[in-house]
Every structure is written in C-alpha cells, then in structure tokens.
A = this chain, B = another copy of it.
Amino acid sequence: MAGRNPRLDDVAAKAGVSAATVSRYLNSPEIVAAATGQRIREAIDATGYVQNLAAGALASSRSRLIAALVPDIAQSMFNDTVEAMIDELAMDGNSVMLSLTGPDNHRLAREINMALARRVDAIILTGIVSDTEMRQKLRLAGITVIETWGLPEDPIDVAIGFSHRAAGEEMARFLRQRGYRRPHLVVPRSTRSARRASGFVTRWLHDGGEEPTRLEVGVPSHFGQGRLAYRGLADLAAQPDVVVCGSDWIAQGLIVEAQAAGIRVPDQLAVTGFGNLRLAGDMRPTITSMDIDGARIAREVLRVLRARAAGEPVETRIDVGFRVIARESA
C-alpha cells in the first residue's frame, strides 16, 4: 500500500496481466477472456483499487461528464426534467455537472466556459442562448449541445422543446372556446413567458377579443407572486373573468388569495396555470394548466446523446408539444 492509492499497474501486477488488459476489462469486460476477468476482479478487490476517471478522461478525451445549465433549482419547472436526466445519465456511467446560470442567464457565459474547460461530452441548456458570440463558440466546441424547453429556428446543434408562442395561442383558443371574454395575463419576466403571452394575445385579438390586460412579475415564479397578482387585480379598470398565470405556483397563490377574499374559483374568477406540476392536480379547486412532458424531454435528450455516442445522425429540432389539461379552475 505504502500510502499512495493503488493504480491500474498495481492491479495488473497482482492479476498477472498488463495494465492495458485491466483497462479493457474495466471499460468493456466482454472483450477480455472470462478467466482473466475473474483474476482481475479479484485483484481489484484485493488492492481496493478505485478507477481514476480523470486520467481516463485525459487519455481517451471522453470525460463522461455532462453539463446541465439551468437558471435555478430552488423553484423551477425544469427540476423534474433535470432530475430525470441526471437519473438516466447516471445509468450510462455519466455524471452531471449542474451549473446555475441565475436569473436572466446572468452567469451563462462563465458556466459555459467552465463546462468547455472541463471538456464535458455534452452541454444541455435550458432555454435558448441569445448571445451570438456564445452560440458561435458552442458551435465550434465540437461537442453535443442541446437546447431544451424551446425550439429555435436555427438551433446551435440540437433543440428539444416546443413553441412557446404556439402554446400561448392554444391557451387563448381554449379559453375563448370556453366562453371567457376578459383574460388577464400574469407574465413572469422571462423570454419564454413573454413569448407565450405574445402568442396568447395574437390569437386572442385574431379571434376578435379585446386586448387583454397584463401584469409582469419577477422570476423565479413562486406562490407569493400569485397573492400579489391577485391584489393587483384591484387596480384594473374592468375585472377579468379569467387570470392566465405563467406558472402553476402563481395560479395556486392567486387562488388561495382569492378564496381568502371570499371569491369563489372558478365561479367568480377562473384561473389557469402553466407547467402542469403535480400540485395543479392536487389543488382545490384543481388547476387547469398546460402540460409539458418534462420526462419526455429528458428521454429525448438521452436518445440524442446515445445516438451521438454511436455516431448515428440525429434530428436537430425535436418538438415535444404541449397540451391543455382542463380541470376545475377554468
């Protein structure tokens, strides 16, 4: 032992083979003879050897590290997706480096540079990178770059998501069909929310409705903002018949506040959310929301990564769609 950690050589010596063979056994057991494998396994146990992936990464220029960049995890609609991804990537022997880019993607550039410096095998972005220079840098990096939760015309590499504009339009269509006439939008200050709101308004006007009122709220979205949003209604000239919230949390907070004020939802005021989080189905009343299949996004990410690893071609734009989940609140 002599203090230092056992290396491949030590295992090799003990097993009576070369380091190369041990390396092969570790990476693709099936190509070494069964008997040899057995001896190597024993040698590993005997020495207490722990593979050094850092050295392996350098030698093979495959780090098995994947960077996932998200704005935050404290209150994020992406958490389920991120969790599913981490889970599944771990199955393939990858590790996920989670980087927080902060509100407005504040630290995006820095975190991308960090990921590149670590020679990650892939970078998974939440949302779309707008900075042209950064996009170029990522293109040149020669690794898989996946943009999720959005669907740009011209992805950096691969995009997996849906059209926020179309989702907004769909919600407008849905509410109009249900007979609502005066929607009020509660819009978090993010590009994605803005796009949905814009889609909503376009469609609403197109269908003959009047310009909806709106309130902008900060990000990340949370329960408390729903309460604020409810109070904001008092300032409106005409009261809305439905409040379209940028997230289920906001919708939930708004409902609680409305109820505390003695307002019945949806009889006196209807509410919709976005994201179809678990709580949307659990709330009283249950919340009408827009479902995005986060697990599907995670699966597609995995599929793309595997295809790339196998050298197969992949689509560059994968639309996972969305759908309105009609419940009690609207």
Chain A residues in contact with chain B, CB under 8 A? Answer: 50-55, 57-58, 63, 65, 72-74, 79-80, 82-83, 86-87, 90, 95-100, 102, 107, 110-111, 113-114, 116-119, 222-224, 227, 253, 256-257, 259-260, 278-279, 281-284
Interface contacts beyond A51-B117, A58-B58, A90-B114: sample of 9 additional A-B pairs, CB < 8 Å, sorted by A:
A55-B58, A83-B100, A87-B102, A90-B100, A90-B110, A222-B282, A223-B279, A259-B259, A260-B284
CA distance A224 to B278 in the complex (A): 8
Q: How far apart sit A54 and B97, CA to CA, in the bound complex (Å)?
A: 14
Q: How far is the CA of A114 from the CA of B99 in the complex (A)?
A: 19
Contact A54 B119, CB 8 Å, known A96-B97, A282-B253:
yes
Chain B residues within 8 Å of A51, by CB = 117
What are 24 sample pairs from A and B whose C-beta atoms fall under 8 A apart?
A: A50-B117, A51-B117, A52-B117, A54-B54, A54-B58, A54-B63, A54-B119, A58-B58, A72-B83, A73-B82, A74-B80, A79-B79, A83-B100, A86-B99, A87-B100, A90-B99, A95-B99, A97-B97, A98-B98, A223-B283, A224-B279, A224-B282, A256-B283, A256-B284
Contacts of A90 in B (CB 8 A): 99-100, 107, 110-111, 114
Min CB distance, A117 to chain B, in Å? 5
CA of A54 to CA of B58, assembled, Å: 6
CB-CB under 8 A from A253, the residues of chain B are 282
> Contact between B222 and A278 (Cβ–Cβ < 8 Å)?
yes
The listed residue (B100, B223, B260, B284) touching A86 by CB distance below 8 A is B100
A222 and B279 contacting across the interface, CB-CB below 8 Å? yes
CB nearest neighbor in B for A107: B90
Residues of B contacting A260 with CB < 8 Å?
Answer: 284
